[in-house]
Amino acid sequence: MTAITLTGLRKSYGDKVVLDGIDLRIAEGTIFALLGPNGAGKTTTVQILSTLINADGGDAAILGHDVTREPDAVRDLIGVTGQFSAVDNLLTGQENLNLMADLHHLDKAARRRRTAELLQHFDLTQEAGKPVSTYSGGMRRRLDLAMTLVGRPRVIFLDEPTTGLDPRSRRGMWDVIRDLAADGVTIFLTTQYLEEADQLADHVAVLDHGRLVAQGTPDELKRLVPGGHVRLQFADPDEFQFASQVLDAPVRDGEALTIQLPNDGSVRSLRALLDQLDHASVDAVSLSMHLPDLDDVFLALTGHPNRERTTTP
Amino acid sequence: MTTLPLAVRDSNTMLRRNLLRMRRYPSLTFMVIGMPVIFLLLFVYVFGGTLGNGLGGASGGRAAYANYVVPGILLMAIAGTAQGTAITVAMDMTEGIIARFRTMAIFRPSVLTGHVVGAVIQTMLGLAVVVGIALLVGFRPNANLVEWVAAAGVLAMTALALTSLSVALGLVAKTVESASNLPMPLVLLPFLGSGFVPTDSMPTAVRWFAEYQPFTPIMETLRGLLLGTGIGANAIGAAAWCAAITVLSFWWAKSRYNRNTAR
């Protein structure tokens, strides 16, 4: 069954077109990643699907319920963890979860059971009695997600769930997301990181300036992207000229005195390259590795670099 | 989802959230009680002797003025708490948890009723403190139990009206700073009414405003209940003003809350 359906979804703020006709079908029980830079329209898409704002045109439905015409039916099915933590900072972790349990109309016993279970699962039992204002970023994110899960939603929206987290907290969040999907929950996540989409998602769509420029499995997507490369820096123009010819470099920058060679970043291929340099007596000042990242995806798919991106994973 | 029991249950949950937040963050409560107390002391001990003589009563002086000024101070306390409520609501709206509430299948206005009822409770507690201090500095009401209860009712009704208005103002405000400024005129209204001096001592234009603005009938009704002065049509005026402000404000707040979704 289709969990999320978008047909020709459009949204503008004034003259600025944020979503310019988005079509998507997401199967139930899968993880879907919407990949794009800041300002691509990711958050707007989540806001429309989670009934926070109305689209200007097109249709969106969650498990067969239209988000505009039956918002309460949709709200009954979904859970949302936004980009900015949706926790009450003045309350404790336990109180935040109690609040959610009460709003889902659980009775006292069910409330105690469910909140204890979630605190345990998200490793927050120790800190349950402390105000959320004292929590670290990772703990806050975990509590945020725990609150989303109190009502056992069947579709979960995660808007940049790991932005700003340290690598360890990010891995922890990935594990949680995988567990949820294993339980049959449909996950719609947005991310700026190709690696995150690659690690988690069954399907990925790339959003750029309000349009989907590609969609498919992570592997299909990566095939669209040129592989990584190695950049070599030279000290003087003669050496640069010589190396360019000997190595037959496809990308050369005569002003910066650098050349780029395709390379997948494996130890084997690097060693082969170094041997080749030795063999030809090419003397490079420095060498740097570049793996394919979102910038490469963007360059490949849109023909323009992703300038709005300011953070790196 | 809009059946009455669910509406009551969700509103109750939101009320508990707000009471808990007030307990965690009590400084705002103290601040809003502090201001009317300072004004009470100022007006009784600094201006009271002179102003009391101008009241034209038999006794005059500080003792008479203490009795005269208390209803005005009580309204000032309500207005002050309303200002605090506008700030609280504006701050709350900037928190991500409000967006979460909007994506949940709950009784939608419960976020607002939670704020309104919570603030009314906060106001009534604050008023109890102010009345206690007023009694210490020479306030001598002659009300019986029924009149006290009625006075408390008038105060609660006024608190409900001003709190609803300040919740709406808190939603309208684009920043927390402007939320603290918007309800400022409410704090000044007791001065431009019969709160601190009788209206017939004012020049015509000011007097016209003072007699027809909502705070004057409320203060006159309180004065009548607590001190036995004439009430007349003021009680009806007070009730009408409060009902109108409450209904319009809540409707305004509700439509603002439902509209301002992507903030």
The ipTM (two decimal places) reads 0.83
Sheet of strand A251-253, all strands in order from the earlier edge strand to the far edge: A251-253, A258-262, A229-233, A286-290
Which secondary-structure segment (H or E) carries B79? helix B61-93
> Quick one: tokens of B229?
């002065």
HSE of A6, CA atoms in CB hemisphere, 13 A: 24
At A160, give phi and psi (nearest 5°): 45, 65
> Quick one: tokens of A257?
């005195």
pLDDT band, residue A98 (cuts 50/70/90): very high
Per-residue pLDDT for A69 more than 70?
Answer: yes
Per-residue pLDDT for A310 more than 50?
Answer: no
Kindly determine whether residue A82 and residue B104, on different chains, have CB atoms separated by under 8 Å. Answer: no
Kindly determine whether residue B262 and residue A99, on different chains, have CB atoms separated by under 8 Å. Answer: no
Rounded to an integer, the average pLDDT of B92-97 is 85
* Distances B115 to A8, B34, B88, B101 between C-alpha atoms, Å: 39, 21, 9, 14
Q: Which of B17, B21, B96 sits opposite A86 (nearest CB)?
A: B96
Q: With contact defined as beta carbons under 8 Å apart, do B239 and B247 qualify?
A: no
DSSP letter at A55 equals -
Question: How large a percentage of chain A has pLDDT more than 90?
Answer: 48
Q: If we measure between CA atoms, which residue out of B89, B83, B85 comes closest to residue B188?
A: B83
SS (H, E, C) A147-180: HHHCCCCCEEEEECCCCCCCHHHHHHHHHHHHHH
Kindly determine whether residue B1 and residue A72, on different chains, have CB atoms separated by under 8 Å. Answer: yes
A105-163 pLDDT, tens per residue? Answer: 999 999 999 999 999 999 999 999 999 999 988 899 899 999 999 999 999 999 988 88
Kindly determine whether residue A51 and residue B103, on different chains, have CB atoms separated by under 8 Å. Answer: yes
Q: CB-based contacts of B145: which residues, under 8 Å, 6+ apart? A: none
Q: How far apart are CA A210 and CA A42, in angstroms?
A: 8
B181-220 pLDDT, tens per residue? Answer: 888 888 888 888 888 888 888 888 888 898 888 999 999 9
- Identify the bridge partners of residue A159 per DSSP, sorted by sequence position: A190
Cα-based torsion angle of the residue sequence A165, A167, A168, A170 in order, rounded to the nearest 10 degrees? 50
Per-residue pLDDT for B31 more than 80?
Answer: no
HSE of B169, CA atoms in CB hemisphere, 13 A: 27
Average pLDDT value over all residues in chain B: 87
Chain A residue at shortest CA distance from B111:
A103
pLDDT on residue A312 = 37
Per-residue pLDDT for A272 more than 80?
Answer: yes
Cα-based torsion angle of the residue sequence B43, B47, B50, B56 in order, rounded to the nearest 10 degrees? -20
- A50 CB neighbours in chain B (<8 A) are 103
pLDDT on residue A311 = 36
Q: How far apart are CA B223 and CA B55, in angstroms?
A: 14
Question: How large a percentage of chain B has pLDDT more than 90?
Answer: 43
pLDDT band, residue B58 (cuts 50/70/90): low
At A308, give phi and psi (nearest 5°): -75, -15
- Identify the bridge partners of residue A290 per DSSP, sorted by sequence position: A229
Judge whether A132 is closer than 8 Å to chain B, CB to CB: no
pLDDT on residue A303 = 64
**Residue B255 falls in which region: left (phi positive, over 0), alpha (psi -120 to 50) or beta:** alpha
Chain A residue at shortest CA distance from B26:
A90
Strands A186-191 and A31-35: parallel
Shortest Cα–Cα distance, B157 to chain A (Å)? 28
- Decide which of B55 and B152 is more confident: B152
Q: CB-based contacts of B54: which residues, under 8 Å, 6+ apart? A: B197, B201
> Quick one: tokens of A234?
């030279």
- A51 CB neighbours in chain B (<8 A) are 102-103
Task: Look up tokens 């007023």; give the residue.
Answer: B134
Per-residue pLDDT for A275 more than 70?
Answer: yes
Question: How large a percentage of chain A has pLDDT more than 70?
Answer: 93
Per-residue pLDDT for A206 more than 50?
Answer: yes
- Decide which of A96 and B230 is more confident: A96
Q: At what angle do helices B234-259 and B110-136 cross, to 10 degrees?
A: 140
pLDDT band, residue A6 (cuts 50/70/90): very high
Q: What is the pTM of this model?
A: 0.80
pLDDT on residue A293 = 63
Per-residue pLDDT for A305 more than 60?
Answer: no
pLDDT on residue A96 = 95
Q: How far apart are CA A245 and CA A22, in angstroms?
A: 47
pLDDT on residue A308 = 44
Average pLDDT value over all residues in chain A: 87
Question: Range with the lowest mean pLDDT among A136-145, A258-267, B81-90, B146-155?
Answer: A258-267
Q: Give the sign of the dihedral formed by CA A295, CA A301, CA A307, CA A312.
A: negative
Rounded to an integer, the average pLDDT of A219-247 is 82
> Quick one: tokens of A261?
């060679």
Q: Which domains does chain A have, with CATH numbers?
A: 2-218 (3.40.50.300), 229-291 (3.30.70)
Q: At what angle do helices B215-227 and B234-259 cross, to 10 degrees?
A: 130
Q: With contact defined as beta carbons under 8 Å apart, do B17 and B114 qualify?
A: yes
Q: How far apart are CA A128 and CA A149, in angstroms?
A: 16
Question: Range with the lowest mean pLDDT among A143-147, B106-110, B258-262?
Answer: B258-262
Judge whether B261 is closer than 8 Å to chain A, CB to CB: yes
At A59, give phi and psi (nearest 5°): -125, 150
pLDDT band, residue B23 (cuts 50/70/90): confident
pLDDT on residue B163 = 94
Rounded to an integer, the average pLDDT of A284-297 is 76
